[in-house]
A and B are shown apart, each in its own frame.
Chain A
């Protein structure tokens, strides 16, 4: 049984990783062939770094992801605190609307925002580009921030805020010293989630970006539509390495925290 389990995990991992490894191997291929490896080269990497479109869309993606995740974290944290203190019916209503971008297929969110922006573009001087892209990203990011924070309130004593004020805190102090530390883990995970979703998003950006402001996924898409270029393979390799590094660091930090926590509990 043990052997069977291991073999099964092995098979699934093969299915998941073989395509990526083939992609990586062919990023070092001398020719453009996608099936015959003819010789080692780093040419495609050199070309990648000299490709202005890729570099500028990468920078654009990072700027949008940083801005969108910061704005949505602030907006979402304030919203979560406010929603938590609402009465049952308005709370349920707001949460249901907040869930719409999460449940809806991305393409529907994309075209619905596109319709709105087309409407604005026709009446005001709004153009498709950086601003529409940023608004779209914030819109699909905020619900994730709120959903990450809301459960933290359930674990918190609802009287803490008033107790702090009774003990002489101003509302602002009570917020900073009592509420914020309690919900901080949710705020951080919400921020990270918003950031990764923004970095990775293609579908919604595709409908809201216009031609002036492109993100990396959109550039990748137009590269795959045109002729084959091993630059995509080189790019995939670099992204894969970045992902591996980030996940290993994350894992190490989490393990350290777990150890610290278990020591803390024992003493």
Chain B
């Protein structure tokens, strides 16, 4: 078996050049200036954008919470229907995820627009037109719409494994449905909750497309900030690298905290 180690050599070289070196370069850029001298300036400059960081974290938390609340009952219902119907139902739920997320976000752009369908309907019944697009609400809606399947899938895959007889046993032993939920189903589905939260939170906090398409110019997120430093007018890769580094640190902290809730060694990505 030992001889087989050689086979991984091409990948190890690739991994070093294209995964490890780029990440080290991000760290290097974050702590240097244009002349290549060591500096803490970029990191301390990130502090100026505290409001954008707080907004990103806040909107991502709201979107993640809404995804969890919407997905939990759905995943449970899906996991309890007939086995042969399950795969078809799951396919129908996951199908929109296979469309490119730009198109999914574009769909909401046209729905929420000032002359969009929703505003036209609202006018018919006498309300509005309301300002729907270019609000932080629209950004949260975009996040929920795009990342909902990322919450449904891990929840469904843990709930599917919960044996029906466990729930029946809890009922027989005198639990009401409320108690069954909090004493049996929630603890057993905890790994799914943890992985669903990280799978929604990470893309939500780092998005720049959703905020740009649905949030207008007034709802900048961390992702927009990074993008502006690398491809925008504000070209400053050193600051962009520093912001990326802080973003990675925030995500690392949150994932470490989340993994505390995951029982034993089931650390999920």
Contacts and interface: CB of A to CB of B under 8 A. Distances in A.
A251 B74 contact: no
Nearest to B108: A19
A184 interface: no
A138 B18 CA distance: 10
A13 B92 contact: yes
B9 A82 contact: yes
Given A34-B113, A97-B19, A220-B100, A82 B11 contact: yes
Interface string B70-89: 10011001100000000111
A117 B2 CA distance: 35
B102 A86 contact: no
Contacts of B92: 13
Contacts, number: 220
A26 B21 CA distance: 47
Given A105-B205, A107-B226, A16 B96 contact: yes
B130 interface: no
Interface in A17-69: 17, 19-20, 22-23, 26, 33-36
B53 interface: no
Nearest to A99: B269
A166 to B, nearest CB: 13
Interface string B104-115: 101111110101
A131 interface: no
Contacts of A34: 110, 113, 115-117
Given A98-B15, A111-B226, A9 B244 contact: no
Interface string A97-138: 111111111111101111110110000000000000001001
Given A22-B110, A239-B103, A251-B87, 10 more contacts: A20-B96, A23-B107, A79-B10, A94-B12, A97-B19, A108-B226, A111-B241, A116-B17, A119-B25, A138-B18
Interface of B: 1-12, 14-15, 17-23, 25-26, 29, 70, 73-74, 77-78, 87-89, 91-93, 95-96, 98-104, 106-111, 113, 115-117, 119-120, 145, 148, 202-203, 205-206, 208-209, 213, 223, 226-227, 230-231, 237, 240-241, 244, 247-248, 251, 255, 269
5 closest residue pairs by CB, A with B: A82-B8, A79-B11, A105-B206, A112-B22, A19-B107
Interface of A: 5, 8-9, 12-13, 15-17, 19-20, 22-23, 26, 33-36, 75-76, 78-86, 94, 97-109, 111-116, 118-119, 135, 138-139, 142, 146, 158, 161-162, 171, 196, 200, 202-203, 206-207, 216-217, 220-221, 224, 228, 232, 235-236, 239-240, 243-244, 246-247, 251, 254-255
